[in-house]
Amino acid sequence: AQTVTQSQPEMSVQEAETVTLSCTYDTSENNYYLFWYKQPPSRQMILVIRQEAYKQQNATENRFSVNFQKAAKSFSLKISDSQLGDTAMYFCARGGFQKLVFGTGTRLLVSP
């Protein structure tokens, strides 16, 4: 089975600090994409960042960056300068052809 594993069910961080969420995945495909989605209490699924597997350079979007280790099949999300609005469930997902396969999520709480 091609799975995505998020080993941290919950994490807490204080405002302005940095936090890293972990994700590992399994795939037999050569061409695939990796994503982090954020799901705040509103339950909307919001795309945070994407990484193409063929690119060696780690993706960055403002305060969000990834550490993509292809050989290790690892894809972690770093949130810098955490804000209260970052409080949400974060899902790692692997995409390729067709469906996304999601991890079970990490609940992040940012406190003042």
Which positions lie near another protein, rule CB under 8 A? 31, 33, 35, 37, 42-47, 50, 91, 95-105
**Is 3:16 a contact under the CB 8 Å cutoff?**
no
Nearer to another protein, 17 or 61 (CB): 61
- Could you tell me the smallest distance in angstroms from the CB atom of residue 12 to another protein? 21
Distance of CA 40 to CAs 19, 27, 51, 84, Å?
17, 28, 22, 11
Distance of CA 90 to CAs 2, 42, 55, 97, 105, Å?
19, 13, 23, 22, 5
Nearer to another protein, 17 or 29 (CB): 29
- Could you tell me the smallest distance in angstroms from the CB atom of residue 16 to another protein? 28
Nearer to another protein, 27 or 96 (CB): 96
- Could you tell me the smallest distance in angstroms from the CB atom of residue 13 to another protein? 23
Placement of tokens 């994490």 in the chain: 11
